[in-house]
Amino acid sequence: MLESLITASENFIYHQLRLKATPHATLPADALHTCSITLFGEDGASHRAMFYFDLSYLTKVCEALLFEEAPDEATLIDMAKECTNLIAGSAKIIAQEREKSGFDIALPVYEGVATPSQNGTTDAIAIDKAFALAISL
């Protein structure tokens, strides 16, 4: 599942922002806009994916999709949830195509501003060597 989420994130960055995503070696210690989404596997197991978004990344997405250069807090929160939903939905399709098995998704939940967990499996993604987002499962 995590591999599908990472691929979907990279695709989102490329197709929506026209930028290239690369792996990022470290997680920032900064507080980031955080969303969760529950993924339900075909075996009945549920997994909670956490998405951590850098403010500059969310601002770039708002500029690209909403043509809004200075989004307010409510817009940033909505965009964090929308990115989470779009990425998870795309990951669902990628998993079905690659693994011939998929998962269902719940609605994303905004969890507030938090520091990425160092526990579990967390992958970070960069744009132009600057941290953009992280996903943990």
Q: What is the pLDDT of residues 82-132, one digit of tens each?
A: 999 999 999 999 999 987 777 899 999 999 998 886 555 678 888 877 778
Residue 40 has a pLDDT of 93
% pLDDT > 70, the chain: 96
Total number of domains in the chain: 1
In this structure, the number of other CB atoms found within 10 A of the CB of residue 136 comes to 21
Residue 118 has a pLDDT of 59
In this structure, the number of other CB atoms found within 10 A of the CB of residue 22 comes to 15
By residue range, what is the domain housing residue 18? 2-136
Residue 83 has a pLDDT of 95
Tokens of 43: 């075996």
**For 5-21, how does the pLDDT look when each residue is reduced to its tens digit (9 = 90+)?**
999 999 999 998 888 88
The string of DSSP codes covering 8-64 is: HHHHHHHHHH---EEEESS--SS-EEEEEEEEEETTS-EEEEEEEE-HHHHHHHHHH
57-71 mean pLDDT? 94
Q: Which of 87, 78, 79 is nearest to 39 (CA)?
A: 87
Residue 119 has a pLDDT of 58
Residues in the chain: 137
The three-class DSSP label of residue 80 is helix
In this structure, the number of other CB atoms found within 10 A of the CB of residue 97 comes to 10
CATH, residue 21:
3.40.1550.10
